[in-house]
Amino acid sequence: MQSAQPGQPARPTGSAPTLDIHGLRVTLPGAARPVLDGVDLTVAAGETVALVGESGSGKTLTTRSALRLLPPGAVTEGAVRVDGEDVLTMDAGRLRDVRSGMVSMVFQDPRATVNPLRRIGDFLTESVTLTGAMNRTQAADRAVELLRAVGLDESVLRKYPGQVSGGMLQRVVIAAALMGDPALLLADEPTTALDVTSQAEVIALLTALRERFGTGLLFVTHDLELAAAISDRVYVMYAGRIAESGPAEALFARPRHPYTAALLASTPRMEGPRGRLAAIEGQPPDLREPLRGCAFAARCPLATEVCDQRAPLPTAAPDRPDHRAACHHSDLLEGSAVDA
């Protein structure tokens, strides 16, 4: 894959996806069923893909699988390919190469990512110098270029994390994630700890950097409106399974899974009549209990006997082959629209 340094053309979008997760199952000790159960997900070069769902649905674990950052004792099936190579089966040396350059991750809380006792300049340059990817001079120049790309000046290099705001530190963490010129950027709810203004700035920054460098972006969020605004495609996750996937505009305008429709209905909005927010009754299924049918059946208003007996397979909409939903009754939602 072609590299893209600051000021140079972005990577071309090829036919092979930057990230290709296929049939991923992850089982943890003590669980009666997989935490991730047959997950399929792709991210192409230069594409933003959003992964949405309630807490505990498996979003973070799916994202971390691209770096093989899995819990102790995890048993995996399936494949997680980054530029065609399976992360789950590669040796330790190759995995280290992937983690140090090809794939980077921006975590939810920037202050949990950096060492408060070291200067920001050390944080930015340490990884690429230790791996031998750059010498000190090259790393320092790269750090300055990326700080400018995220809207900061080089004086930040001399500061400690406690001397900058949360929004500035999140920009620093994004710059650090780009130091090795990754083909794939994983962003695990990177705006949750920020105020509204900083959130908007970080989102605009990620979008601009993706367009400039051609980096594939997997963006994890609870915020459906944010996902609709920034993503090309969206995956909706529930209880370790992909409930629905498709182009962002189509998925939010015409959801094909009752869970997606329920999430959209429970999203707060400034416009429209005032009243109590809609809520999804019940709780996700317990990992300590086996699951035979549809994971959402106990909370679904459309559920019938078949939903308890057999897990649905993803099927495409009649007029939208790239819009898929794992629901026995998705035809009942066809043609319906949600005012997003």
**In the predicted model, what is the mean pLDDT of residues 9-32?**
78
Q: Are residues 58 and 178 in the same domain?
A: yes
**For residue 105, what is the domain's CATH number?**
3.40.50.300
The predicted pLDDT at position 14 comes to 43
Q: Are residues 25 and 173 in the same domain?
A: yes
Confidence tier at 334 by pLDDT (50, 70, 90):
low
Confidence tier at 8 by pLDDT (50, 70, 90):
very low
Residue 166 located in a structural domain: yes
Residue 176 located in a structural domain: yes
**In the predicted model, what is the mean pLDDT of residues 131-138?**
89
Confidence tier at 15 by pLDDT (50, 70, 90):
very low
The predicted pLDDT at position 77 comes to 97
List all residues 6 or more positions away from 205 whose beta carbon is below 8 Å from its beta carbon: 150, 151, 171, 174
Residue 10 located in a structural domain: no
The tens digit of pLDDT for each residue in 196-231 reads 777 787 788 788 878 877 889 999 998 888 898 889
Residue 19 above 90 pLDDT?
yes
Whole-number Å distance between alpha carbons of 294 and 313: 10
The tokens describing 142, both together, are 């790269």
Residue 8 located in a structural domain: no
Residue 219 located in a structural domain: yes
Which residue has better confidence, 128 or 335? 128
Q: Are residues 155 and 283 in the same domain?
A: no
Q: Are residues 284 and 168 in the same domain?
A: no
Q: Are residues 267 and 176 in the same domain?
A: no
Q: Are residues 142 and 245 in the same domain?
A: no
Residue 187 located in a structural domain: yes
Residue 7 located in a structural domain: no
Please identify, among 231, 262, 286, the residue that sits at the C-terminal boundary of a domain: 231
Please identify, among 231, 254, 280, the residue that sits at the C-terminal boundary of a domain: 231
Encode 213-241: b = buried (16+ Cβ within 10 Å), e = exposed: bbbbbbbbbebbebbbebbbbbbbbbbbb
Residue 9 located in a structural domain: no
Whole-number Å distance between alpha carbons of 296 and 138: 52
Contact 219, 49 (CB under 8 A): yes
Q: Are residues 45 and 161 in the same domain?
A: yes
Q: Which of 316, 324, 296 is nearest to 308 (CA)?
A: 296
Q: Are residues 208 and 247 in the same domain?
A: no
The tens digit of pLDDT for each residue in 295-324 reads 999 999 999 999 999 999 999 998 899 999
Task: For residue 80, give its domain range.
Answer: 19-231
Residue 9 above 50 pLDDT?
no
**% of the chain with per-residue pLDDT over 70:** 91
The predicted pLDDT at position 338 comes to 45
DSSP string, 276-289: PPP---S-PPPTTS
List all residues 6 or more positions away from 80 whose beta carbon is below 8 Å from its beta carbon: 19, 20, 21, 24, 65, 66, 68, 86, 87, 88
Mean pLDDT of the chain: 87
Q: Are residues 148 and 77 in the same domain?
A: yes
The tokens describing 230, both together, are 């920034």
The tens digit of pLDDT for each residue in 236-265 reads 999 999 999 999 999 999 999 999 999 998
Contact 27, 34 (CB under 8 A): yes
State CA 83 to chain mean position distance. 17
Please identify, among 199, 231, 263, the residue that sits at the C-terminal boundary of a domain: 231
Q: Which amino acid, residue 227?
A: A
In 10 A of CB 300, how many CB atoms?
Answer: 21
The predicted pLDDT at position 223 comes to 85
**% of the chain with per-residue pLDDT over 90:** 59
Backbone angles phi, psi at 321, to 5 degrees: -65, -20
Number of compact structural domains in the chain: 2
